[in-house]
Amino acid sequence: MKTMTEIKTNKLTLVQAVTDGLRTMLREHEEVLVLGEDVGQNGGVFRATDGLAAEFGEARVMDTPLAEAGIVGTSIGLAINGFRPVAEMQFLGFVYPAYEQIMTHASRIRSRTLSRYSVPMVIRAPYGGGIRAPEIHSDSCESLFTHMPGMKVVVPSNPYDAKGLLIAAIEDPDPVLFMEPMRSYRAFKADVPEEKYTVELGKGAKLTEGEDVTVIAWGNMVSTAQKAVDQLKDDNISCELLDLRTLYPLDKDLIAESVKKTGRAVIVHEAPETGGVGNDVLSVINNEAFLYLRSPVQKVAGFDTPFPFFSLEEEYLPTPERITHAIKKAVTF
């Protein structure tokens, strides 16, 4: 096994790590295809597929019409017939026309055929606020898909995880929704190995050790929660920060172990609170760690409104200040 000092790495942004993961899998497996609106010559709306059509040809990195249901339906057919398609939704909020294909077919074909057929496909979808995009471009509707057995839902928060999780998603035998946090696309760079590696689906990560409270976040909200955790060090409040990385299936063991240790929890997500994945995390805590709780679990979420126009998005999104307030409320209960 190579040590970290022997592994060659590059400083990449999250979106560059996505490109690197796609290139790695296109090189390794001829059955991997990339399809979507403008993913070919233009390299995608966020340039996540930049240069791939020139390197692998338009038969493997192909532009499609503006028809999300067609992109996903075509990918399902390709997957059943031995390919591993990676379909791009330009924004998660554009996925609604394809929802019927995902709900009725992609997630059910394994159970419908008693595992004679599976659907090894990935749907990539930029999501979330913070980039002042027009209406529907900032939706965070992950709970629509975590409610769908048969579909895994993955959300990286940093470049290393983005490449490793994407490769694991492409190799997975079942459909995966791969949500990419737009605000984090070019927010920072991190070391990403040049070689192929995977980050296991269904496993979260403990980013900081703490004693007083567990803070649970994913995607864009991880960096926001990290700022809150750092601020509270001056108040001698020790926070354990978890990045879930996969929303379905949840890493129940990681959540339970941490909350049993700290006795308190704060859940952070930018989707509206009602019906959000935070409720599933709360159920895990109630089922697995209720008797260890020393205060009610707090949630910091988006509001129960459609994502607002850009002039109000900073009012909508959870901030470090809202998170620190919730943490102090949990600790001082």
| Catalytic sites, residue numbers | 137
- Rounded Cα distance, 143 and 248, in Å: 9
Q: Is 219 left (phi over 0), alpha (psi -120 to 50) or beta?
A: left
Q: Note whether 190 and 160 are within 8 A (CB).
A: yes
The count of residues in the chain is 333
- Rounded Cα distance, 281 and 270, in Å: 14
- Rounded Cα distance, 146 and 152, in Å: 7
DSSP letter for 266, please.
Answer: E
**Phi (first) and psi of residue 128, to 5 degrees:** 90, 165
Helix H or strand E encompassing 126: strand 122-127
Question: Does a cis peptide bond (omega within 30 degrees of 0) precede residue 249?
Answer: yes
